[in-house]
Amino acid sequence: MSAPLEVRRLGRTRYEDAHALQQELVAARAGGTSGDVLLLTEHEPVITVGRGTSADEKRTLGATGIPVVEVERGGEATYHGPGQLVAYPILLLPEARRDLHRYLRDLEEVVIGVLSELELEGTRRPGLTGVWLGAQKVCSIGVAVRRWVTWHGLALNLHTDLAPFRRFHPCGLSSDVMTRVADHVELPATTLLGEVLLVKHLCRVFALELPPMPPLAPPSESGGSCGPGFLPLPVL
C-alpha cells in the first residue's frame, strides 16, 4: 500500500530558512505528528559543506566570494543556486528500507528516472554518489538521517550557472566536472517540469502517492468556473 506524500513548493529560498524548516519537519516526523514531506526549492547562491570536506578544502572556500554553510549531511562541498532543483525528502524509512546505501541508490534512481523522461541516460559511478551524464556530474546527493527520518537530499542542475562550481572542487572532484541538463536538451525557463517529474519518480521509487486532488471550486455568481482551487494545498 502506498503512503501519502505532502509536496511543498517553496520557490526561491535562503539556505538557512530551508534548513530550519527541514529541522522542524524532521522533529515532527520522528515524533509522529506529521507524515512524509518533500520540499522543492531553488536556493540563493551558497556553498554547503558536508562532513566529508577536508580541512584544506574548507580553507579555500572563503576565496570563492560565495556564502559558505557547514551542514550535517554526508559528502563534501557543493554549490546551490538559481536554476538548480533542490529536493529535500523528509521520509520515515520503513524497517525494510533502513539501509543508507540503499537510500542513496534509490535517490539516484529517482534522478535517473527524471532524466529518462527527457531522453537522457543518467548513470552511476562506482564508489561515488550522484548521477552523471557521460563524463560529467549533473546531480549531487548528500543526506542525513535522524531516528530513521531522512533529510537533506539532492540537487539537480537544470539550467544552473556552472561558473561557481569552477571556483572550488565540488564533491572533491575536478572543478570542471559539473554539467547541467540544459546543455543536453532544451528545457523550459523554470524548474516546474523538473519538479513534476521528480515527484513522479520519487513516488514510484519509494511507493508514495500524492493526496487526492481537490474538487473543482463552485461556479461564480457570474456563471464562470472558479478553477480547481489548488491554492490552499501545498502540493503540486
Q: Is residue 104 a contact partner of residue 143, using CB atoms and an 8 Å limit?
A: yes
Q: What is the CA radius of gyration of the chain?
A: 18
Only one residue has cell 533542490, namely 86
- The closest alpha carbon to 189, from 162, 160, 155, belongs to 160
Look up 171 and say whether it is catalytic.
yes
Catalytic residue selected from 139, 171, 203, 226: 171
Q: How far apart are CA 76 and CA 165, in angstroms?
A: 13
Q: What angle do CA 204, 77, 81 make, to 5 degrees?
A: 70
Strands 131-133 and 136-146 turn out to be: antiparallel
- The closest alpha carbon to 68, from 143, 152, 164, belongs to 164
Catalytic machinery residues: 171
